[in-house]
Chains A and B, each alone.
Chain A
Amino acid sequence: MKKLLAILIATVFTLGAGAVLADKYGKQKVIYHVNYKDPKRQGAAMRNIQNHINAVGKDNLDIRVIMHSGGYTLLTRANKDLAVQQKVSNLKDQGVTFNICANTLRGKKVDYKTQMFDVDEKDIVPSGVAEIAHLQDQGFSYIRP
């Protein structure tokens, strides 16, 4: 009985702490800007996003990963490398949006249908930089890991 009570109290405290955390941050809208091709740095960005979700909760977050310039390689790597693909998929499952710049696709001559992982036409924005400027105007915070 005592044990049960202890578990119950512990549960209440844990839930309470979670609620406090969510209250602390509220809802957040965040841009993650990826314009570099360094795989390590891209990996670190994916980890940052996961940690962000863990802290704030996926239901409280609208995360947009905006890729342009060298950043497009994140999804061409994901096309070949299952470990990268897994990370991208996991984030997508938690509501993260991945957007890619049309100028970059044109400039680097990349076919998004065959060379990139899971890119739909709606994921393509006319200009990555303009998209970032627009989102900041809509109240999104800007992070470049």
Chain B
Amino acid sequence: MTKEQTFSDEFLNAFVDNQLTAEEKSDAFVAISRDESLNRRVCELRKVRDLVQLACSNPPPPPTRSYTVHRSLWARIGFRSIAASILGLGMAIGWALHTTTPHHNPNSPRVSALTSPVPIKGIKVLLHLNSGDPQRMNDLLDEVENLLKFYKETNQVARVEVITNGGGINLLRADTSPNPARIKQLYRDWNNLVFIACQNTIDRLNHEQNINLVLLPEAVVIDSAVAQIMRRQLQGWAYIQV
């Protein structure tokens, strides 16, 4: 019996929805971490489930962006997806392990916080880049540095995520990045900064242009930039397009 047969879609759906017994779940975790195709299937199911949840949650807009509103919102949609989020973390680890020599430790809080349902303290800023214009990329790096310095000088706890998709992914591609040395330096200097690339964009470039994309070691891959942007805004992050 192959693994594909062992784990039916029904079983994986139950896994994604956190409806398995503890024992079944731990078996599934082990199998998924060993089998990449299984891992992909679960990821697909999770993505569909997350998008459905986001589409269905659609709450009336809160009068202000207070944290309590977002926390209760999270409570409504979030706990069901804890298992899925842990899985997402597993995906990230799996991905990091098979990319070349990552500088970052995928278990470090800065990477695991990407998909963790635990609310993040302090100021949270998501900078979105979807343009491949080198001038804008360099401006973005300036802005990131200025922003992090500002929060440090004013003693404010902050986390900044730079998320790239479409042409913006060029920022994090080993062959097109306008300034890999600076990205490396920023990543080393600031442990509250993350550079994210979108898996959908990577797949699309592969299908359409046959590009086997190699990312800078500082980059972390996430399933879908758009889904992450939606998640982050629901969680009360500030969203800024660069």
Which 8 interchain pairs have the tightest Cβ spacing? A133-B238, A139-B64, A136-B238, A127-B150, A103-B146, A133-B125, A129-B147, A69-B139
A contact set with B: CB distance below 8 Å:
33, 35, 68-70, 103, 107, 126-130, 132-134, 136-139, 142, 144
The answer to the question of B143 belonging to the interface, with a C-beta cut-off of 8 Å to chain A, is yes
Evaluate contact between A132 and B240: CB separation under 8 angstroms: yes
When the two chains form their complex, are residues B146 and A129 in contact, meaning their CB atoms are under 8 A apart?
A: yes
Q: Assuming A107-B142, A133-B238, is B150 touching A139 (CB within 8 A)?
A: no
Inside 8 A of B124's CB, which chain A residues have their CB? 133
* Contact indicator A142/B146 (Cβ below 8 Å): no
Say which residue of A69, A128, A132, A137 sits within 8 Å of B65 (CB atoms).
A137
Inter-chain CA distance A144–B239, complex, in Å, is: 11
A7–B150 CA distance with the chains assembled, in angstroms: 59
- Give the secondary structure class of A's interface: helix
Q: Which residues does B use to contact A, with CB under 8 Å? A: 63-65, 123-125, 127, 139, 142-143, 146-147, 150-151, 236, 238-242
Query: Contact between A137 and B143 (Cβ–Cβ < 8 Å)?
Result: no
> Hey, which chain B residues are within 8 Å of A70, CB to CB?
139
Extra inter-chain contacts (9) besides given A129-B127, A133-B238, CB under 8 Å = A68-B143, A69-B139, A70-B139, A103-B142, A107-B142, A127-B147, A129-B125, A129-B240, A136-B238
A133 to B148 Cα, complex, angstroms? 12
Q: How far is the CA of A18 from the CA of B236 in the complex (A)?
A: 33
Question: Which A residues are CB-close (under 8 A) to B65?
Answer: 136-139
Nearest chain B CB to A98 CB, angstrom units: 18
Q: Which among B123, B142, B146 is the interface contact of A133 at CB below 8 angstroms?
A: B123
Set B142, B143, B239: member contacting A136, Cβ < 8 A: B239
Q: Are B240 and A127 in contact (CB under 8 A)?
A: no
In the complex, the answer to whether A133 meets B150 with C-beta atoms within 8 Å is no
A134-B65 Cα distance, complex, nearest whole Å: 11
**Cβ distance B180 to chain A, nearest Cβ, rounded Å:** 22
A130 nearest in chain B by CB position? B150
Point out the residues of chain B lying under 8 angstroms from A130, CB to CB.
Answer: 125, 147, 150-151
For the complex, give the distance between the alpha carbons of A129 and B141 in Å. Answer: 12
Q: A137-B65, A137-B123 are in contact. Are A69 and B143 (CB under 8 A)?
A: yes
| Shortest distance between the CB of B235 and any CB in chain A (Å) | 12
A145 CA / B123 CA spacing, docked (Å): 25
**Complex: chain B residue closest to A26, CB-CB:** B63
Q: How far is the CA of A79 from the CA of B79 in the complex (A)?
A: 54
Complex Cα–Cα for A69 and B125 (A): 18
Nearest B-chain residue to A36, judged by Cβ: B136
| 22 sample A-B contacts, Cβ–Cβ < 8 Å, listed by A number | A33-B241, A35-B242, A103-B142, A103-B146, A107-B142, A127-B150, A128-B143, A129-B143, A129-B146, A130-B147, A130-B151, A133-B124, A133-B240, A136-B65, A136-B238, A137-B65, A137-B236, A137-B238, A138-B64, A139-B64, A142-B238, A142-B239
**Min CB gap A78→B, angstroms:** 22
Q: How far is the CA of A136 from the CA of B239 in the complex (A)?
A: 8
CA distance A68 to B147 in the complex (A): 12
Taking the nearest CB of chain B, how far is it from the CB of A114, in angstroms? Answer: 24
Q: Assess whether A139 is in contact with B63, with CB atoms less than 8 Å apart.
A: yes
How many angstroms from the CA of A144 to the CA of B146 in the assembled complex?
21
Kindly state the separation between the CA atoms of A126 and B149 in the bound complex, as whole angstroms.
11
A99, chain B: closest CB distance, angstroms:
14
Contact A33:B240 (CB < 8 A) given known A129-B127, A133-B123, A138-B64: yes
Q: Are A126 and B239 in touch, CB under 8 angstroms?
A: no
